[in-house]
Amino acid sequence: MELATVTHTAALTRLGYALSDDTRARILLALREAPACPSDLADALGVSRQVMSNQLACLRGCGLVDAVPEGRRTWYRLADPHLAPALGDLLALVLAVDPSCCSSEGCTCS
């Protein structure tokens, strides 16, 4: 399988999409700490294995995680070593937000 690289804008869009879902964001934060297998991630995050499988497939498709087969298990890890410190930098952000804007129904600010 040939992998394609993406522009900075496309990479940020993919990261933003991944972080826009609570489960995917929690997976990335968990993988920031250490590689993990899907069943352990599902148990740790309190989601079904099917949900975990779907979210990991999405994160793989976005180029954010890699699957590493090891015997009968597959371990997932962040795809790029720059991603862990970038997530750490994002966690350090302090944002002042308007609670009436950008709700779960979407951004209503104009």
For tokens 């099917």, the residue is 50
Structure tokens at 38: 């899907």
Rounded mean pLDDT of the chain? 89
pLDDT of residue 95: 75
Q: What is the pLDDT tens value at each position of the chain, 110 positions in all?
A: 556 666 888 888 889 999 999 999 999 999 999 999 999 999 999 999 999 999 999 999 999 999 999 999 999 999 999 999 999 999 898 777 777 777 666 676 66
Which value, to the nearest 10 degrees, does the dihedral of the CA atoms of residues 59, 62, 63, 64 take?
Answer: -40
Q: Cα 20 to chain center, whole Å?
A: 9
**Residues 48, 68: Cα–Cα separation, whole Å:** 21
Topology (CATH level 3) of domain 8-91: Arc Repressor Mutant, subunit A (1.10.10)
25 burial (CB, 10 Å; 0-12 / 13-18 / 19+) is: middle
